[in-house]
């Protein structure tokens, strides 16, 4: 098995040097955001806590507030990654503040994620 690095430095370097080579793959069964880099052949895993979704500058609630099933921000992100994964891109990455910003070009949503753990490893 490949060595795993418990640091945001690798994904920060990828984002700074070749941001167009990063592609969002999915949210795995452990709730981690999986990002692949085609340039350095690294897989980056981010354990996310809070997810906030917004359209333009208007925050969308992450809570279910009524009897109708309003999707949470995490569910909206999972839907975007499932239905139009190529449209979801990384717009911001700050490992000092543990924030990742995503944008869905298809539905014009932006997602702000609070990350608790960054992990990277070389793809086999």
Q: Supply the range of the domain harboring residue 52.
A: 4-122
DSSP track, 49-84: EEEEEEETTEEEPSS--SSS-PPPHHHHHHHHHHH-
Q: What is the pLDDT of residue 66?
A: 47
Q: Does 59 score more than 70 pLDDT? A: no
Q: Which two tokens stand for residue 82?
A: 């499932």
Q: Does 65 score more than 60 pLDDT? A: no
Could you tell me which residues are beta bridge partners of residue 114?
99
Q: Whole-model pTM?
A: 0.82
Total number of domains constituting the chain = 1
What's the pLDDT tens digit per position in 70-88? 889 999 999 999 999 889 9
Instruction: State the average pLDDT over residues 115-119.
Output: 93
d(CA 11, CA 29): 21
């Amino acid at each position: 098995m490949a060595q795993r690095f418990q640091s945001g430095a690798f994904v920060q370097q990828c984002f700074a040097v070749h941001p167009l080579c990063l592609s969002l793959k999915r949210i795995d069964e452990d709730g981690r955001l999986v990002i692949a880099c085609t340039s350095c052949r690294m897989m980056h895993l981010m354990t996310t806590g809070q997810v906030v979704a917004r359209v333009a500058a208007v925050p969308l609630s992450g809570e279910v507030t009524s009897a109708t099933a309003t999707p949470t921000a995490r569910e909206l992100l999972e839907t975007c990654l499932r239905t139009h994964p190529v449209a979801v891109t990384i717009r911001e990455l700050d490992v000092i503040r543990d924030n990742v910003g995503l944008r869905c070009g298809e539905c014009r949503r932006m997602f702000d994620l609070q990350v608790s753990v960054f992990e990277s490893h070389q793809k086999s």
